[in-house]
Amino acid sequence: MAQRLVLVVNCGSSSIKFALRREGSSAALLSGLAEQLESPKAILHWHTTDGKQSQALSPGGHADAMASLLPLIDEYADQPLSAVGHRVVHGGEHFTGAALINPEVIAAIEANAPLAPLHNPANLIGIRAAQAVLPQIPHVAIFDTAFHQSMPPYAYRYALPDELYAVHGVRRYGFHGTSHQYVTQQAALLRGWPATQGAWLSAHLGNGCSNCAVLDGSSLDTSMGLTPLEGLVMGTRSGDVDPNLHAHLGRTLGWDLPRIERLLNRESGLLGLSGLSNDMRELEQARKDGHDGAKLAIEVFCYRLARSLAGLAVALPRLDGLIFTGGIGENSALTRALTLKHLGILGLQVDPDANSNLPRGEAGNIEAAGSTTILVIPTDEERQIAEESLHLLDASN
Ligand code: ADP
């Protein structure tokens, strides 16, 4: 029998990202994006082995967009779908793994909405729209936070009064769990070990960035916290700042909380430091052209990344390897080289040729002789969501 098919759905407030994945395969049969939903510019883009295509959508929103996927799925699926896997951002403490979607699961995702007010409601819109057009298929929720539920309390608690945790859920949750889990499994497989073996540090560097310490398949600590703002310097997010910054800006500039939230989430990070761009490619070019802001932004990004990795290393009993992934981690040899300059303390030494010559899109080792392993591994969150959805169905049958 042909390997099973899963539709992977990642729904935002005005977009739906989707992919039709075959079990065990590293390539999507069909992938695309419906965007600018609920506007006259609503459009569907998709990509297959036949190339890229687009089609205007009615301004009817997520339900219409989801319905317009059905003929495409029919065209490229050679068997009925076995599952629809939905990415959901925040599972709080309720979800420690994938969940078969039913009314109780939907209620729990709703209950976690205060922790992810922009994302969870949008994810629910996607779940409802997909269930409406594919009612006979099992729908599975995969949470960005679930992988990190294995963190011990000393890693996930803030030094705040207990009531804020016990009553209001204020703790570190972590995100990017699907990616950290996927790349650490791939790292183990590349070593010839079972997928859940090894002591790894993983750096997921995209527009959002986070690090994770993983031991034998379990997250022990990660750099993001209650929200994805904590930790590393990111495209437009500041990462860690002095928590008193809020009070300081309020007192000295009269800024209110929405203004400060915008500053820290949208105007900071690489963009704020460089005064130029949140895009690492652009910054690398500007740095070459002598732009001081771009140079500083990249230096701060790499130093703070290295400092976080060195801090997370204490969560592990030993280090079997460091993994770079995400758009920056996979493609920016400069970022990897500048970060690794600070990490000799962990026994990590980069081979400059291997680092610069790694073929785009491929996994490979970039450590020098005698160094602890350093890997670049392309992440594939959609594949992980598809595989986890099928594992859950197999386990519940
Ligand atoms: P997202 O978090 O939105 O999925 P990505 O993982 O695609 O983001 O990462 C986007 C980042 O990757 C951008 O900063 C982009 O500039 C960077 N990037 C992509 N390709 C390269 C490259 N060849 N060199 C340096 N940076 C790159």
Ligand 1 site-directed mutation target among 176, 271, 281, 287, most atoms within 8 Å of CB: 281
Residue 129's CB is within 10 A of a number of other CB atoms, namely 22
If 0-12 CB within 10 Å is exposed, 13-18 middle and 19+ buried, where does residue 382 land?
buried
The pLDDT of residue 337: 98
10 labelled ligand-binding? yes
If 0-12 CB within 10 Å is exposed, 13-18 middle and 19+ buried, where does residue 196 land?
middle
Q: How far is the CA of 217 from the centre of ligand 1 (A)?
A: 26
What is the position in ligand 1's atom list of the atom closest to the CA of 326? 6
Q: Whose CA is nearest to atom 13 of ligand 1?
A: 279
Q: How far is the CA of 282 from the centre of ligand 1 (A)?
A: 10
169 labelled ligand-binding? no
Q: Whose CA is nearest to atom 8 of ligand 1?
A: 206
Scan for tokens 């732009």, then name that residue: 291
Ligand 1 site-directed mutation target among 332, 377, 379, 382, most atoms within 8 Å of CB: 332
The pLDDT of residue 1: 56
In 3-state terms, what secondary structure has residue 82? coil
Q: What residues are labeled active site?
A: 144
Q: What is the pLDDT of residues 275-285, one digit of tens each?
A: 999 999 999 99
87 labelled ligand-binding? yes
Sheet strand arrangement including 139-143: 51-56, 43-48, 28-35, 16-22, 5-11, 83-88, 139-143, 99-100
Q: Whose CA is nearest to atom 24 of ligand 1?
A: 332
Ligand 1 site-directed mutation target among 31, 182, 207, most atoms within 8 Å of CB: 207
Q: What is the CATH T-level fold of the domain 5-143, as seen in this structure?
A: Nucleotidyltransferase; domain 5 (3.30.420)
- Which CATH code is given to the segment(s) 192-381? 3.30.420.40
| Inter-CA distances, 28 with 47, 63, 228, 381, Å | 9, 23, 28, 12
| Strand-pair partners of 350 | 367
Residues of the chain with pLDDT under 50: none
What is the position in ligand 1's atom list of the atom closest to the CA of 284? 25
Q: How far is the CA of 235 from the centre of ligand 1 (A)?
A: 9
Q: How far is the CA of 107 from the centre of ligand 1 (A)?
A: 35
Contacts of 78 (CB under 8 A, 6+ apart): 2, 5
The pLDDT of residue 118: 86
Contact 178, 384 (CB under 8 A): yes
Please give the single-letter amino acid code of residue 74: D
The pLDDT of residue 214: 99
Residues within a 6 A CB radius of ligand 1? 206-208, 235, 279-281, 284, 326-328, 331-332
Residue (of 207, 105, 102, 117) closest to 146 by Cα position: 105
d(CA 146, CA 237): 23
Contact 336, 329 (CB under 8 A): yes
DSSP string for 168-184:
T--S---S-HHHHHHHH
225 labelled ligand-binding? no
Strands 28-35 vs 16-22: parallel, antiparallel or unpaired: antiparallel
304 labelled ligand-binding? no
What is the position in ligand 1's atom list of the atom closest to the CA of 283? 16
What's the pTM?
Answer: 0.96
Question: In the chain, what is the straight-line distance between the N-terminal and C-terminal CA atoms, in Å?
Answer: 18
Residue (of 179, 308, 285, 181) closest to 234 by Cα position: 308
Strands (E), 89-134: 99-100
| Inter-CA distances, 68 with 57, 136, 231, 352, Å | 8, 18, 39, 48
Residue 275's CB is within 10 A of a number of other CB atoms, namely 12
Q: How far is the CA of 281 from the centre of ligand 1 (A)?
A: 7
260 labelled ligand-binding? no
- Segments making up each domain of the chain, as ranges: 5-143, 192-381
In 3-state terms, what secondary structure has residue 220? strand
Long-range contacts of the stretch 114-119 (C-beta < 8 A, 24+): 115/90, 115/169, 115/173, 115/226, 115/227, 116/89, 116/90, 116/227, 118/13, 119/12, 119/88, 119/89, 119/90
Answer yes or no: same fold for 5-143 and 192-381.
yes
Q: How far is the CA of 211 from the centre of ligand 1 (A)?
A: 16
